[in-house]
């Protein structure tokens, strides 16, 4: 895996090779910065050899509030975006703490489509960190509790 970017990225509903994720220059996100994003971390547990997505519900709630403010009609559910996070992390085979930014953006057509809720919305997930990729893909769990005393509280983890 390259040290500059992950091998795979989630883009408009699919996990694709990094080089295939492209946004056209005529989109509102390129022309005017019309997008919303949420930065998330998944923490690596060495003993369990698993990644834990930290406070996913809270991140999704903030993302959804941002899309409401921007009047964006998101074509994916919160559950589908959560599954997308898991799929792209698994595809990259991370074995280490990873951060990612889930971005939803306004597509082409802003000059001719009204109301804003009818504009096409795209999305991508950019990843960073992740330690080394391995041939054995770790299982991924969703962390519902906060980190306490520098460690992950495992009492209320639910497998996805």
Kindly give, in sequence order, each residue whose CB lies less than 8 Å from that of residue 101, ignoring residues fewer than 6 positions away: 37, 38, 39, 40, 125, 126
Separation CA 130–CA 128 (nearest Å):
6
Q: How far is CA 3 from the centre of its chain?
A: 20
pLDDT tens for 28-70 read 888 788 899 999 999 989 898 888 899 999 999 999 999 999 8
Asked if the model's pLDDT at residue 110 lies above 80, the reply is no
- For residue 81, give the nearest of 20, 36, 45 by alpha carbon: 36
pLDDT band at 130 (very low <50, low <70, confident <90, very high): low
Alpha-carbon gap, residue 128 to 153, rounded angstroms = 23
Query: pLDDT value at position 113?
Result: 61
Mean pLDDT taken over the chain? 76
129 pLDDT band (50/70/90 cuts)? low
Domain 29-159 has CATH 3.50.50.60: no
**Average pLDDT estimate for 108-114:** 65
Q: Tokens for 52?
A: 């834990």
């Amino acid at each position: 895996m390259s040290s500059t970017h992950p091998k795979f990225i989630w883009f408009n509903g699919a996990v694709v090779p990094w080089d295939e994720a492209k946004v056209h220059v005529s989109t509102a996100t390129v022309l005017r910065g019309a997008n919303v994003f949420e930065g998330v971390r998944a923490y690596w547990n060495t003993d369990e050899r698993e990644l834990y997505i930290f406070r996913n519900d809270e991140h999704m709630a903030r993302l959804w509030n941002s899309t409401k403010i921007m009047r964006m009609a998101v074509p994916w559910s919160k559950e589908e975006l959560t599954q997308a996070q898991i799929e792209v992390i698994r595809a990259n085979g991370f074995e280490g703490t990873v951060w990612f930014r889930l971005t939803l953006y306004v597509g082409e057509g802003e000059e001719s489509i009204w109301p804003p809720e009818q504009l096409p919305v795209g999305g991508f997930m950019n990843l960073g960190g992740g330690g080394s990729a391995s041939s054995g893909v770790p299982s991924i769990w969703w962390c519902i509790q906060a980190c306490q005393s520098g460690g992950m509280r495992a009492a209320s983890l639910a497998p996805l």
